[in-house]
Amino acid sequence: MPLPPVGLQFIVFGKKYRLDEHADVMLDAVAQAGYAGVECGAPKDLPGFLQKLKSRGLKLGGAHAGLRNLLDPKPFIEYLHAGGASDLCNSGLLDWNKRALQDWKEAIVKLNEIGRQLRREGIRLHYHNHDFEFAKVDGEKTGMDLLLDGLQPDACDLCVDVAWVLRGGSDPAEFLRKHKDRITYLHLKDFNDEGWIELGQGKVNFAEVLKAAEELPKVSWAMIEQDQTRIDPLDSIRISREYLKKTFGY
């Protein structure tokens, strides 16, 4: 399978660059670095933002939200429809700090309900993992086991964050291959002992990750995501994108 287009998750910009104030600078850097699209929240001037994307040959790839915010999915539906996007990622359960078995069960019910509602609107919901999903919940199953057992294919797929998979104690490439029919969105991320780092400078084996990604039949985007950077975000996004292009021709 061909690899999906590469986009950028805007979390890397942190507080230094804000979409409502620095959109031109941010989008110029994204386009010049060779990204195909972006994953971000809705700015105040949505029509203006969408025009800025279009003028630079960029697409709105998707958005990201916590589950409690998704209890009212209408604003996300309107945003994604306006931008011509069809992917929405969710992170965490109803309460970020509550992860008992019952919390998982309640979250899975809501994810299925919301996911089906979104599917009727032409939008796919993806559960984005961190590392806590790979911890045992009831002494036997992990949170990821519960998700894979409980999420319905017609409601919610997986957005796999490869760095968080590794931090959770699993091999990212093996995880992609094992669950290839459940994965429809990717976050490419790297880390070292000091924290998040630009792609290719950390512990994630991207050669193996990309080989496995070629076997995924229905992934719409591979978003480069870096939660924090120690350098200017404009340099960070260029370095990560250049790594994929120069190392893998991707």
The per-residue pLDDT for 222 is 99
Structure token digits, residue 158 = 């997986």
Mean pLDDT over 222-238 rounds to 99
Q: Name beta bridge partners: 158.
A: 127, 183
Mean pLDDT over 157-176 rounds to 99
Q: Provide, rounded to the nearest whole percent, the portion of the chain with pLDDT above 70.
A: 100
Q: Find all residues with CB under 8 Å of 176, minimum gap 6, and list them.
A: 160, 162, 183, 209, 212, 213, 215, 216
Q: Find all residues with CB under 8 Å of 104, minimum gap 6, and list them.
A: 93, 137, 143, 146, 147, 150
Q: Provide, rounded to the nearest whole percent, the portion of the chain with pLDDT above 90.
A: 98
DSSP symbol at 190: E
Mean pLDDT over 6-30 rounds to 98
| pLDDT tens string 100-129 | 999 999 999 999 999 999 999 999 999 999
Burial classification of residue 71, based on how many CB atoms lie within 10 Å of its CB (0-12 exposed, 13-18 middle, 19 or more buried): exposed
The per-residue pLDDT for 139 is 86
Mean pLDDT over 4-21 rounds to 97
Q: Name beta bridge partners: 64.
A: 89
The per-residue pLDDT for 95 is 95
Measured distance CA(48)–CA(34) in Å, rounded: 22
Mean pLDDT over 132-158 rounds to 97
| pLDDT tens string 193-214 | 999 999 999 999 999 999 999 9
Mean pLDDT over 236-243 rounds to 99
The domain segmentation of the chain, as residue ranges, is 6-248
pLDDT class of 47 with cuts at 50, 70, 90: very high
pLDDT at 1 over 90: no
Q: Domain 6-248: which topology?
A: TIM Barrel (3.20.20)
Amino acid at 86: S
Mean pLDDT over 7-26 rounds to 97
The per-residue pLDDT for 108 is 99
The DSSP annotation for 102-155 comes to HHHHHHHHHHHHHHHHHHHTT-EEEEEP-SGGGSBSSSS-BHHHHHHHHS-TTT
The per-residue pLDDT for 217 is 96
Q: How far apart are the first and last CA of the chain?
A: 14
The per-residue pLDDT for 91 is 98
Measured distance CA(131)–CA(206) in Å, rounded: 18
pLDDT at 138 over 90: no
Mean pLDDT over 28-45 rounds to 98
